[in-house]
Amino acid sequence: MRIVPALDGGICRIKLAGGVISSVQAMAVAEAARTYAQGIIEATNRANLQIRGIGADHDGLIGALMAAGLGPANPASDDVRNLMLSPTAG
């Protein structure tokens, strides 16, 4: 998990395995967005979330998300994309 720079602060993309998030994890994302960023959470077209407007405490944000089980087990897997397939496709 990493923070990438943007005009409004940092952006952190949160990969959701299979596009699934528990209510406890959703609350952790909301709390992290309020605490470490500007409270902005976006759903992406790849069934993930991203927090925008992140301030200087990158480690705090990443730690909070990892504690909620929302980070990759392997740091190199941050660039792996979810596959979205239709079960009815030929």
For residue range 64-78, list pLDDT tens digits in order: 999 999 987 766 665
Residue with tokens 């976006």: 42
Q: What is the pTM of this model?
A: 0.82
Q: Where are the domains of the chain?
A: 3-71
In whole angstroms, give the CA distance from residue 49 to residue 4. 14
In whole angstroms, give the CA distance from residue 90 to residue 87. 8
C-beta neighbour count of 8 within 10 angstroms: 12
What lies within 8 Å, CB to CB, of 59 at 6+ separation is none
In whole angstroms, give the CA distance from residue 55 to residue 38. 8
pLDDT digits (tens, 9 = 90+) for 31-50: 999 999 999 999 988 888 99
pLDDT range class, residue 5, cuts 50, 70, 90: very high
Residue 77: both structure tokens together = 């897997």
